[in-house]
């Protein structure tokens, strides 16, 4: 049996990117919960004050937000790479093509008008 007869369905690039993004967000959320649980344990043991715990939680939230932003940028960059390597057109490219088609339609319509029906500008 040859290697070029695969039974697996092709991977959808957008699905892969979405799953990677959700995985990253899930890890950040799980880490945030674990940090809060750990801070709670330290408060119970008297090793951390509630004020310090709030500072730690706020700092962690700030770091998690920064990580989410970084993750979003990374996902966007990787998505662009996947789209370019798979030959899928971007929205901007599709919009450009639509504009070109509309322009060509106008040119064809103008080229097929009878010679005497050209519009004449109004004299003001």
Residue 42 lies in a domain: yes
Residue 8 falls inside a structural domain: no
81 within some domain: yes
Res. 11: pLDDT tops 60: no
Specify if 97 maps to a domain: yes
At 18 the pLDDT is 67
94 inside domain: yes
Give the up-direction half-sphere exposure of residue 25: CA atoms within 13 A in the CB hemisphere. 9
Closest CA to 78 of 20, 9, 12: 20
How many angstroms from the chain centroid is the CA of residue 86? 16
Q: Collect all residues with Cβ–Cβ distance below 8 Å to 31 and sequence separation of at least 6.
A: 64
Domain-located, residue 51: yes
Q: Tell me: the pLDDT tens digits for 67-124?
A: 888 888 888 888 888 878 888 888 889 999 999 999 999 999 999 887 655 555 555 5
Domain containing 69 equals 13-112
| Domains in the chain, number | 1
Give the contacts of 100 (CB within 8 A, at least 6 positions apart).
none
Residue 118 falls within a domain, yes or no? no
Specify if 77 maps to a domain.
Answer: yes
pTM over 0.85: no
């Amino acid at each position: 049996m040859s290697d070029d007869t695969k039974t697996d369905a092709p991977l959808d690039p957008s699905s892969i990117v979405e799953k990677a993004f959700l995985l990253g967000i899930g890890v950040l959320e799980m880490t945030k919960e674990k940090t809060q649980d750990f801070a709670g344990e330290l408060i119970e043991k008297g090793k951390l004050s509630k004020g310090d715990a709030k500072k730690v939680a706020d700092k962690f939230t700030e770091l998690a937000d920064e990580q989410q932003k970084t993750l979003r940028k990374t996902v966007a960059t990787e998505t662009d790479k996947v789209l370019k390597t798979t030959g899928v057109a971007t929205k901007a490219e599709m919009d450009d093509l639509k504009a070109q088609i509309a322009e060509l339609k106008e040119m064809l319509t103008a080229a097929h008008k009878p010679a005497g029906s050209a519009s004449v500008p109004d004299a003001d």
